[in-house]
Amino acid sequence: MIKNSDDEDLAARAASGERAAFRELLTRHYDRVFRVVYSVLRNKSDAEDVTQEIWAAMPGKLHNWRGEAKVTTWLHRIAVNAAKDSIRRKASQGRTIASYTEVQELSRGAEADHKARLLWLDSALETLSEDLRETAALTLGEEMNFAQAGEVLGVAEGTIAWRMSEIRKRLKTLAINDNGFGQEALV
């Protein structure tokens, strides 16, 4: 019953205090929010924290749910904004050091493949500015079309198109400059 309900229905029911509906929304979209936050923050543990924070604040925000947009669009907007806020509130250096520490820890762990992917992703995201990261998270990570991504980020569709070509360009530069690392990561 709940499993088959669409997001918008669930959100409406959760807003009226239906616990199971909220839990379903949580399990459905928890990772999605994390992915978007991660793309913007580029740091796993921070992203995990911010994701927890977002969801913890979600019940309070449910009252504002008007059912005008799609739940995913709404969530993406919240995720992007929370991630950006988080960046703004903190100096980012410490975070970067930490992300290297994390990478280093991971490199000792057993998940060799996973960490390599993370490392590549990290260097890929590093070449992108905040705007481009948000865009990549929505268009590539969440497979939104340009209009949808533009709606979430509050920019024109053409801007998203421009950003995509920009992302493509930067990634290419990464592949060429990055000690050949980016290219090898493609293998």
Partner 1 sequence: MSDDELEKLAMALKNISPSKNTRKDGIAAAMEAFDAEFNTENETASQGLAAQPRPTGQSTGIGSVWTLGRDAMRKLKDIFSFNGKTAMMMGTCAAALFVTSLYLPNTRFEDMPKAPQAVTAEVKADDKVAELEADIGASESITVTGKRADVSEPVEQEEPSELQVVEIPPSPVIVAAPKDTVDKTAPSAKPAPEAQGGINSVSDLLNKVRTDGATAQPETRDREAKFRQRRDEQARLMAESRGALSAPAQTSDADAKAQAQAQSPQGIISQNNFMAPVIGQQAVQPLPTRTEQVGGYILEEVPAEYKTELKTIVTKEASTELVTIPPSYETVTEIVVVKPQSVEYVDIPAEYEWVEGEIEGSTTEYITAPSEYRTIQEAVVVQEASTELVIIPPVYNPDGTILTPASTQERVIPAVTKMQTRRVIERAGGTIERVVPYEIKDGKTRVPVKPEKTIEKVVPAVTKEVFRRVVKTPASTQERVVPAGVRKKVNVRTVLSPQKFYLRDETGQIIREFDSRDQFEKYKSNLTTVVAEKPVSTFSVDVDTASYSFFRSSINRGQLPPSSSIRLEEMINYFPYDYEAPRSADEPFKANVTVTPNPWNADTKLMHIGIKGYVPEMDEKPRSNIVFLIDTSGSMRQENKLPLLISSFKLLLSTLDEDDTVSIVTYAGSAGTVLEPTAASDKNKIKEALNNLRAGGSTAGAAGLELAYNKAMESFDADGVNRVILATDGDFNVGFSSHEEMKTFIEKKRETGIFLSVLGFGNGNYNDQLMQALAQNGNGVAAYIDTLAEANKVLANEAGSALITIAKDVKIQVEFNPETISEYRLIGYETRALKREDFNNDKVDAGEINAGHTVTAIYELTPVGSPARMNDPLRYVTDKLEGKTNGSDEFAFVKIRHKLPSSDISTLQTFPIGPKQERSLNRASDDMRFAVAVAAVGQKLRGDTHLDDFSYAEAIKLASDAKGEDQNGYRGEFIRLVKLVDGLRE
Nearer to partner 1, 66 or 168 (CB): 168
Q: Does residue 19 interact with partner 1 by CB under 8 A?
A: yes
Residue 49 sits in the site that holds partner 1 (CB under 8 A): yes
Q: Considering only CA atoms, give the Rg of the chain.
A: 18
CB burial of 108-141 (b: ≥16 within 10 Å; e: otherwise) equals eeeeeeebeebbbebbbbebbebbbbbbbbbbee
Applying CB under 8 A, which of residues 5, 7, 8, 26 lies at the interface with partner 1? Answer: 26
Q: Which of residues 73 and 96 has its CB atom nearest to partner 1 in the complex?
A: 96
Decide if residue 78 touches partner 1 (CB under 8 A).
no
Q: Which residues, numbered 94-133, are part of the site for partner 1 (CB under 8 A)?
A: 94-109, 112-113, 115-121, 123-124
The amino acid that residue 67 corresponds to is G
64 binds partner 1 (CB under 8 A): no
Burial of residue 161 (CB within 10 Å: 0-12, 13-18, 19+) is: middle
Closest to partner 1 by CB, 39 vs 72, is 39
Is residue 73 at the binding interface for partner 1, with CB under 8 A as the rule?
A: no
Phi, psi at 170, each rounded to 5°: -65, -40
Residues numbered 127-146 forming contacts with partner 1, rule: CB under 8 A = 136-137, 140-141, 143, 145-146
Rounded (10°) CA dihedral 117, 122, 125, 126: -150
- Total residues interacting with partner 1, rule: CB under 8 A: 96
The smaller minimum CB distance to partner 1, of residues 66 and 117, is found at 117
Q: Binding residue for partner 1 (CB under 8 A) from 1, 64, 68, 89? A: 89
For residue 152, state whether it binds partner 1 (rule: CB under 8 A): no
Angle of the 7-15 helix axis to the 19-41 helix axis, nearest 10: 110
CA 169 to chain centre: 21
CB 17, min distance to partner 1, A: 4
